[in-house]
Amino acid sequence: MKKILLIATGGTIASTKTDGGLAPALSPQQLLRHVPDAQAFCQVDAQQPMNLDSTNISPQHWLELAAIIEKNYSAYDGFVVCHGTDTLAYSAAALSYLIQGTRKPIVLTGAQRPIDREDTDARQNLLDSLRFASAGDSGVCIVFGGHVIAGTRARKTRTKSYNAFSSINFPDLAEVRDQRIVRFIPWAGGSGPRFTHKLNTRVMLLKLIPGLPPGAFSAAGDLCDGLIIESYGVGGIPDAYLGQLERLVALGKTIVLATQVPQEGSDLSIYQVGHRVKERYQLLEPYDMTLESTVTKLMWVLGQTTQPEEVRRLFYTPINYDLLF
């Protein structure tokens, strides 16, 4: 029987009603009482390092979760992190970079309804996650609504429906159907685990809108070491911001030019507005990466090095299916 560590962080799955709305309150032991069928295929221990609405999850919490998994890695066959849905995709991407090459499954899950509600999706999500974590398939992933999504490819695309998460620009890894795991992409194995312990959180996102003042462009760059610019279509920088961009590049800022469009990714080579800045300023582009992966990977990369060529090499090194180009 597989031995699983459940790490509870709060979220809707563990919430109860209060006068001010839903708030996390249930312990991991209370969560497990709702999935007695799990006892047939795994033994579960539990820890609760935090009990937060995931709106309050920060990079420091990602480091804390990674540290718990590292400390307990040899003692368990798999790990399940119960987490609020709002920042679940960011946490899954961050753990994909902090824990690379894992030969044991690290599964994140949550719910759109509290686990003690009659109409909840929480019981099935938790049971599916424990089942997948017990199956031996490795890597960091999200299990939600029967879908198994690579940790770097998930995005919350629905705020209320049970099928809240989609895999962006990449197929689901697997499904959990009728107590069985149906794998679509064979696990390629892992050479790790390799744990890293540092993130540079001085990363900022600027979403371009028509008419954005040039001063806002510059101010965003001044507040960070790495600036992700979400442009339009396949990517480009409007003429009004070229002077500000040149100043930020001269200051040594790492600039990533992404797209606001969720599907199919960026390609700065297509239009002049993208080609000119990529060639002149050597901007990075995320191609088909999700925003969540772009943000957390840049934090991870800048936490490892400040050397431009090494930043470029690490950013373009595929990790947990995050990048295909």
Residues labelled as active-site residues: 12
Measured between alpha carbons, how far is 79 from 81 in angstroms, rounded to an integer?
7
Measured between alpha carbons, how far is 95 from 88 in angstroms, rounded to an integer?
11
Are 88 and 108 spatial neighbours (Cβ–Cβ below 8 Å)? yes
3-state secondary structure of 140: strand
3-state secondary structure of 89: helix
Task: Give the list of residues 6+ apart from residue 262 with CB closer than 8 angstroms, or none.
Answer: 155, 168, 290
Tokens representing 51 are 């009990």
Measured between alpha carbons, how far is 158 from 164 in angstroms, rounded to an integer?
5
Measured between alpha carbons, how far is 278 from 287 in angstroms, rounded to an integer?
13
3-state secondary structure of 161: coil
CA angle, 66 as apex, 185 and 103 as ends, to 5°? 35
